[in-house]
Structure 1
Amino acid sequence: MIVGLGSDLCNIERIQASLERFGDRFEQRVFTETERKKAARRPFTKAGTLAKRFAAKEAFSKAVGTGFKAGVFMKDIGVVNAPSGAPTLALAGGAKARLDAMTPAGHAMRVHLTLTDDHPWAQAFVILEAIPLEEPRI
Structure 2
Amino acid sequence: MIIGLGSDLCNIQRIQNSLDRFGDRFLQRVFTEVEQAKAARRPHTVAGTLAKRFAAKEAFSKAVGTGFKAGVFMKDIGVVNAPSGAPTLALTGGAKARLDTLTPDGHEAVVHLTLTDDHPWAQAFVVIEARPLSPS
Q: Deviations over 1:14-56 (max 9, x none)?
A: 0000000000000000000000000011111000000000000
CA distance in 1, matches of 2:88, 2:73: 17
Query: Offset of 1:135 from its aligned partner?
Result: 2.0
The normalised TM-score by structure 1 is 0.98
Higher alpha-carbon Rg? 1
The normalised TM-score by structure 2 is 0.99
CA distance in 1, matches of 2:134, 2:53: 33
CA distance in 2, matches of 1:118, 1:55: 13
- Is 1:102 the equivalent of 2:105? no
Tell me which residue corresponds to 2:91.
Answer: 91
Query: Offset of 1:91 from its aligned partner?
Result: 0.2
CA distance in 2, matches of 1:74, 1:91: 10
Q: Could you tell me which runs of 5 or more consecutive residues in structure 1 were left unpaired when the two chains were aligned.
A: none
CA distance in 1, matches of 2:82, 2:134: 23
Q: CA RMSD in A?
A: 0.4
Q: Could you tell me which runs of 5 or more consecutive residues in structure 2 were left unpaired when the two chains were aligned.
A: none
CA distance in 1, matches of 2:88, 2:98: 17
CA distance in 2, matches of 1:3, 1:28: 30
Tell me which residue corresponds to 2:3.
Answer: 3
Tell me which residue corresponds to 2:117.
Answer: 117
Tell me which residue corresponds to 2:134.
Answer: 134
Letter aligned with residue 86 of structure 2:
A
Q: Deviations over 1:54-88 (max 9, x none)?
A: 00000000000000000000000000000000000
Runs of 4+, deviation exceeding 2 Å: none
Tell me which residue corresponds to 2:39.
Answer: 39
Tell me which residue corresponds to 2:56.
Answer: 56
Tell me which residue corresponds to 1:22.
Answer: 22
Written as runs of structure 1 = structure 2, the 5 A alignment for 1:63-78 is: 63-78=63-78
Query: Offset of 1:2 from its aligned partner?
Result: 0.2
